[in-house]
Amino acid sequence: MKQVKEVTERKRGRPRRGNEQNAEGLLDAALETFAAFGFEQTSMRSIATAAGVDVALISYRYGSKVGIWKATVTEVARETVELLQLAVKRAEEQAEADRIDFISSEMVEVIWRRPHFSKLLFSEILTGQDEERKNFIEEALARPFFELLYPFMQKNLILTGRQHSFDTRLGILVSIAIPGLLSSTQEFTGRLVEVARQDDSLRLEIKQVVQSLWAGPEPSPSAEILRARGAGRVRGS
C-alpha cells in the first residue's frame, strides 16, 4: 500500500526530480512547436516530447497550454526588447548621420535571432481567432517595440532632414515585418530568390532593403539655392 500511495502522490504533485534536468530548454521547445503547428494543433504532450521531459513538468510549472504559451511569448519578448534597448543606446552614440542606418541594421539582427518567434507571431496575427492571445502579443512585444523605436526614428529623421511621404509608424512596422517574414520563410523564399539560400547573404540584403527604406530624399543645398534665386527674381520683376 505504501508503494501505491507514493506513486499516486507523485503523479498528482511535483514531477520526479530527474525531469528537472531537462527543463532548461522547455521554452525553446515550446516556441519551435507552437511555430511549427500553431496554437490549436499543439498539445502539451508534443511540447514535452520535443523538450524530452515528462508532460507532468509542463502542467506543474505552467498549468496549461495557454500558460506555457504565455511564458514562451513573455520570455522571448523580454529578450527581444532588452536587445533593442541596447541597440538604441548604441545607436545614440553614433554620429547623427549614421544613427538610422545603424538601428536599421541592429533591428534586423534582433529579429533574425528568433525566426520561430516571428513565425509564431505571424500565425497568431493572421490566423489566430483568440483575441486574448493577440492582446497579449500587443502588450508584451508590439507596443514596447514601437515605444522604443518611434521616438528614436522620429527624432533622428528630423535631425538629419530626411523627409518621407509615408507615416513613420507604418515605416517601422514594414521594417519589422520584412526581416520577420523572410527569416521565418527562408526555405520557401530560397526557391524564388537565390540569395535567400545563404543565411548571411539574405540577412545582409535585408539590412540594405530596410536602410534604403529610411534613406529618403536628402535636402540638396544646390536645389535650395536655385529655389531661393528663383523666388528673388519673382519678387524683383
Is the alpha carbon torsion for 34, 39, 41, 45 positive or negative? positive
Tens-digit pLDDT string for the chain (237 aa): 444 343 333 333 444 444 444 445 899 999 999 999 999 999 999 999 999 999 999 999 999 999 999 999 999 999 999 999 999 999 999 999 999 999 999 999 999 999 999 999 998 988 877 899 999 999 999 999 999 999 999 999 999 988 888 999 999 999 999 999 999 999 999 999 999 999 999 999 999 999 999 986 655 555 444 445 444 544 444
For the chain, domain boundaries? 1-63, 65-218
Whether 106 contacts 65, CB under 8 Å: no
CATH topology of domain 65-218: Tetracycline Repressor; domain 2 (1.10.357)
For domain 1-63, the CATH class is mainly alpha
Compute the distance between CA of residue 187 and CA of residue 185 in angstroms, rounded to an integer. Answer: 6
Quote the pTM value: 0.78
How far does Cα 156 stand from its chain's mean position?
22
Is the alpha carbon torsion for 48, 51, 56, 62 positive or negative? negative
* Residue spans of alpha helices (H) in 63-185: 65-92, 99-112, 115-127, 131-137, 143-160, 168-184
Residue 12: closest CA among 43, 68, 56: 56
